[in-house]
Amino acid sequence: MTLCWILIFLTFQFLNAEEANVEIYAQAGGKVILQRETHGRTLENLRDVYVNWFRGSEKTPIISRNPQGGKQGKEHPRVSFLEDFSLQISPIEESDFGDFRCEQHLLINAYTYRYKLRRVTVSKVQAVIVGETLTLKSKLEKSSLGYSLTVKWIPPKNPNCTLDPRITNRDISVSNVPMCASGVWKCIVQYDGREVTALTTVYVIDLAPAPSKPIYTAVKNTVNIPCSLSSDIPWTLLNESGLQGGSWSFTPQGNENQQPLLSLIVGSQAKWNVTKDAQIAVRERTLTDKDLSILQLPVSEKMRGEYTCTLVFKKKTFSRKVKVEVLQVSSSANSSLKEGQMVNLSCSLGPHTITPEVNWTLELWSSSCSLLSSSYAFADTSRRRKTKFCCYLECKAFHDTSNLILLYSKERVLTVFCLIICFDVYYFELVILCRLVRLFKTHEIAKLLLANLRSEKHICKSTKLFSKEDIFQTCVECLILI
């Protein structure tokens, strides 16, 4: 009798068991979710559900859940449960493509669902030289369930980018590919009411545009001369795309002879090497990103001219030219000036260049003035001993560049020795030596003297005969006598 009941139970189980075949498309390296069938059970009503996920025909589950023991499957770190016990795999590996099955037990009912994980492959072009033809291909495993598969491509969302793609079957091609085609392309596969997005990254090889205006700098500064790849393409891909070398060269202003500065060493580590007999103080450096610039170049007058950055590939050579102008300030005085002497200052970009509008700024102790001219005559040298002039080049297209010149004027210096005798029991002590410099011809000298005398370093601390006020009055009287 017992055997009879067992046979009836097994027959009942077999008749109620349901099987379903589901195909899911995914890309290696991505993420996929195998959705568990709910059989009408809501999230709040899953306490008594047993869930086991298996790979292929394996007997041991890769992850499981039972009401008493909770969740198991820590030995598979890429596999996890969602809230409803659906299976998530991330990232997908090549070995994951194939069969999965989900076994569920709800009271006396047992359900088995079988899943087939299908592969979506997108060609990895990765790098293409600007102006060539970009071709992207998709490959989909055939559906055994007769799914109708459709493919559409979405280019990167780069601003002001106009592409004229051509679609052939499930492939796409773009002729005369522009720089804006760089980025992540999406291949969207639609089937059976579902869709999956496969991704591929495309790098278009080109140099970024050179500055449209010259770079203005000044003597005794440092300057960066820009050159860079237009995208963050790895150097390994550049090497695979036929990179053969590169260089920096310099053509001086008013001279057509091109001077080599740097040469590109290609290999596992790209590097700018200083060429032999380079006329400008460039430095070698290792290249780790898209920046190919000359960095921290000391500025001198001989730097005026055109700099050329070049990258050489098997199929194409890229070059960008950057013009550098050096602002220079000079004065008619080669040595110190005498009071009242005329001084002529000039601000220029060299003999072969027309100097644009400049701003002259005269920086004093507490005041400044601005003058618009490429030259400036300064006559009153009597009132300041040291004067700083700044020449600012004004242009909306680039940052202001300044150069400065310091002028010194000789003045009649009055040195007054005010000897104050401090009497003590055993000795006379020299208290103070006042060196008075006549910076102004008015009572300002008294104010300056007072400020100096109030400093502790000018006062004899051991004096018992004279106060600070006595010392100040004595020195002022001494000055008036002169």
45 band by pLDDT with thresholds 50, 70 and 90: low
Residue pLDDT, tens place only, 360-373 = 655 443 333 344 44
> Average pLDDT in the 41-62 region?
84
Least confident of 281-295, 342-356, 412-426, 457-471: 412-426
Q: Are strands 134-136 and 127-129 parallel, antiparallel or unpaired?
A: unpaired
Look up the pTM and report it: 0.67
Q: How high is the pLDDT of residue 55?
A: 94
Angle (nearest 5°) at CA 202 between 198 and 206: 170
**Distance between alpha carbon 355 and the CA centroid of its chain, in Å?**
33
107 band by pLDDT with thresholds 50, 70 and 90: confident
> Average pLDDT in the 27-53 region?
85
Checking if the pLDDT of 90 tops 70, the result is yes
Checking if the pLDDT of 275 tops 50, the result is yes
Checking if the pLDDT of 417 tops 80, the result is no
> Average pLDDT in the 153-180 region?
92
Q: How high is the pLDDT of residue 216?
A: 86
Domain pair 12-119 / 327-410, same fold:
yes
* CATH T-level topology, domain 12-119: Immunoglobulin-like (2.60.40)
Rounded to whole angstroms, the Cα distance separating 22 from 19 reads 10
Average pLDDT for the chain:
75
Checking if the pLDDT of 49 tops 60, the result is yes
> Average pLDDT in the 161-176 region?
92
Question: Three-state DSSP class for 297?
Answer: strand
Best CATH choice for the domain 123-205 from the list 2.60.40.10, 1.20.1530.20, 3.30.530.20, 1.20.59.10: 2.60.40.10
Residue pLDDT, tens place only, 64-85 = 998 876 677 667 889 999 988 9
- What CATH number does the domain located at 327-410 have? 2.60.40.10
Q: How high is the pLDDT of residue 444?
A: 44
395 band by pLDDT with thresholds 50, 70 and 90: very low
Best CATH choice for the domain 215-229+236-319 from the list 2.40.50.100, 3.30.300.30, 1.10.620.20, 2.60.40.10: 2.60.40.10
Q: How high is the pLDDT of residue 244?
A: 95
Least confident of 130-139, 237-246, 458-467, 472-481: 458-467
The residue with greater pLDDT, 446 or 246, is 246
What phi and psi values does residue 302 have, to the nearest 5 degrees? -75, -5
Rounded to whole angstroms, the Cα distance separating 92 from 76 reads 12
> Average pLDDT in the 217-241 region?
91
Q: How high is the pLDDT of residue 337?
A: 62
Q: How high is the pLDDT of residue 257?
A: 87
Instruction: Return the domain boundaries, the chain.
Output: 12-119, 123-205, 215-229+236-319, 327-410, 421-481
Nearest partner of 56 among 119, 114, 112, 111, judged by Cα: 114
Checking if the pLDDT of 354 tops 90, the result is no
Provide the strand spans (E) within 229-354: 243-252, 259-265, 271-274, 285-286, 294-298, 305-313, 317-331, 337-338, 343-348
Checking if the pLDDT of 165 tops 50, the result is yes
Q: How high is the pLDDT of residue 369?
A: 38
Is the separation of the CB atoms in 298 and 326 below 8 Å?
no
Q: How high is the pLDDT of residue 28?
A: 96
Write down how long the chain is. 482
